[in-house]
Amino acid sequence: MSWLLERAARRLAGELAAYLSPLDSRLRQRALNAVALAVVQDTHHDHEREEALLAALGRIAQRCLAEVERVEAESAALLVGYQRALDERERRELLVRTLTAAGRPSVELRKDLGALGRWLDVEALRERWSTEASDHVDELLVCHAVLRGKLSSAVDPRALLRTARETGLVELALAQAESGQKPVIRAAALRTLLAAVRALEPERRSHWLGIPALRAVLGWARGQRSSRWMRVAALEVCAACQPQPALASLLTELLASRLDDDGMLIRAAAVRCLSSLDEPLRARVQRPVFGDPSEHVRQELARACGPIHGARARRTLVRLALRDGSPRVRGVALRALTERAGWDAPSASLARLVLVRCLSTAEPPLVVRVALSLVPTWVTLSGRDREQADLVSALLRLLADAKAKPDTAERAAAALRELEVRRKPELAQLAVRCREALGRLSEGQSVRLDLAAPEREVVQALRVAARGDHAVGLSPLGRGRMSRPGCA
């Protein structure tokens, strides 16, 4: 390998790693380097053009799949031939022919032939082929990850989509998603197809995919020759491409299913697709979800309604936060409703009322803990100027309730302190400075702060910034200066 080729491949591998997750970039480093080298060789150093890179990745993915199928076919043929051999001599001759035909370097071939009869048997040889096939699968997954990243991050994807159409990326993804392929390959191919579809305008997606592709994806979403994660990926493609009446019919069908093993996962995936429907259709389709036997599906409904605009989504979250039978579902709905306070004024008022209802010992302990943790979030998102009197009163009642557990009372007191600090701009500024100082300190360290504030206000701000860390303390130095000792 020339040094120019090696340098270009190394530089490209660093660029392609940005489209992989940190875990994948570490675990699939060999595959990433192999794909980068193949791209440089395939494009003749023209990989800086996005269109050339996209086309090369499609060709390399096709070659990787062909290599996987070839290696697995050879492994299966070796096993069949080994089982048909009549005696040990024929088995040894079969292994020698197989090793010779593999095309390995002469030095490695001599070592393999010498290892026959000692440790290199048919199982060891098939294990070697299995490893080779897994390496090609890793390369294929890297190609799909980069394809998805390129299509998703393109500022103007029209040139890439034109290249994808000309190079047969849709046909390639559909072929690799067909039944008979490995589930991980099928799901990766469908996610690549989804990235290409989302790069288009919604009104062009169905036409760009074509009727055969839509029919195939719809069948996979309904469970025809598809595993659970394949169905989930196909459902996401349907949500991006199908007309709303067809999508509503599909989601209604899936939400009504009660499969034993995968039903919960499929229904949760269907709930995540509700945001693709307009409000009247969405309200009709989501109605059965309130009675779904799985709390995970109802939690998914709360998460799906969080970013959706409109009064129906607010009412759904309030209903789940107050009336659902599962404390976990109520906690998720309460969090989703509170997080809307930053951009939806009616949700801010409703969230405050729901928080007041939940700050009571009559509620499940999990709901109370979630409500206490969300009080500062609500104040931050809705602003200091909003009415907080009923929230403060609810915290005081909870703090004075004899039935409240010690940790609940402590959390309520911390929430009250934080509310008091946030109401006063000077205290809030002190808390920010204390939090920044704490973030710079390690165990056993201290720092001097010239805060120019009364000691009582500094203590209040530090207690809020420390968030329950009892190892944090203050040493007054006089004239408004403080020393913050580190952890013991």
Residue pair 387/347 in contact (Cβ under 8 Å)? The answer is no
pLDDT for 420-455, tens place per residue? 777 777 667 677 777 777 677 666 667 676 666 666
Q: Return the pLDDT at 488.
A: 34
Structurally, how many domains does the chain consist of?
Answer: 1
Q: For the chain, first and last CA: distance in Å? A: 58
42 located within any domain: yes
Residue 354 is predicted with a pLDDT of 95
Please report the pLDDT score of residue 455 as a whole number: 66
Q: What Å distances lie between residue 278 and 159, 170, 281, 313, CA to CA?
A: 31, 28, 6, 12
pLDDT of residue 418: 78
Assess if residue 52 is contained within a domain: yes
Q: Which residue has the tokens 């009412």?
A: 315
Q: How many CA atoms lie within 13 A of 59 on its CB side?
A: 16
pLDDT in tens, the chain (488 residues): 677 888 888 999 999 999 999 999 999 999 999 999 999 998 887 888 889 999 999 999 999 999 999 999 999 998 898 888 888 888 888 888 888 887 778 888 888 888 887 777 888 888 988 999 999 999 999 999 999 999 998 888 888 889 888 888 889 999 999 988 899 999 999 999 999 999 999 989 998 988 999 999 999 999 888 888 899 999 999 999 999 999 999 999 999 988 777 789 999 999 999 999 998 899 999 999 999 999 999 999 999 999 999 899 999 999 999 999 999 999 999 999 999 998 999 999 999 999 999 999 999 999 999 999 999 889 888 876 777 888 889 999 998 898 999 889 988 888 887 777 777 776 676 777 777 776 776 666 676 766 666 666 666 666 666 665 656 666 665 554 445 544 43
Residues in the chain: 488
Say if residues 190 and 177 touch (Cβ distance below 8 Å). yes
The answer to whether residue 56 is domain-embedded is yes
198-228 pLDDT, tens digit per residue, is 999 998 999 898 899 999 999 999 988 888 8
Domain assignment present for 58:
yes
Give residue 125's identity as a one-letter amino acid code. Answer: L
Q: What are the backbone dihedrals phi and psi of residue 47, each rounded to the nearest 5 degrees, phi first?
A: -75, -10
d(CA 240, CA 243) in angstroms, rounded, equals 9
Domain that holds residue 202: 1-72+130-211
* Six-digit token string for 215: 């029919």
pLDDT the model gives residue 443: 67
CB atoms within 10 A of CB 47: 22
pLDDT at 111: 84
**Contacts of 421 by beta carbon, 8 Å cutoff, 6+ apart:** 427, 428, 430, 431, 460, 461, 464
Distance CA 243, CA 199 (A): 17
In tens, the pLDDT along 155-198 reads 888 888 898 888 888 899 999 999 888 999 999 999 999 999 99
Residue 138 CA: distances (Å) to CA of 67, 85, 131, 145, 338: 12, 34, 11, 10, 42
Residue 33 domain-assigned (yes or no): yes
- How buried is 355 (Cβ within 10 angstroms: 0-12 exposed, 13-18 middle, 19+ buried)? buried
168, part of any domain: yes
**Residue showing tokens 């002190």:** 430
Q: Three-class SS of residue 125?
A: helix
Is residue 450 helix, strand or coil? strand
Residue with tokens 């047969």: 168
Q: Does residue 198 lie within any of the structural domains? A: yes
Q: Output the pLDDT for position 113.
A: 81
Does residue 54 form part of some domain? Answer: yes
Taking phi over 0 as left and psi of -120 to 50 as alpha, with beta for the rest, 154 belongs to: beta
By CB atoms closer than 10 A (0-12, 13-18, 19+), residue 121 is: middle
- pLDDT of 39 reads 93
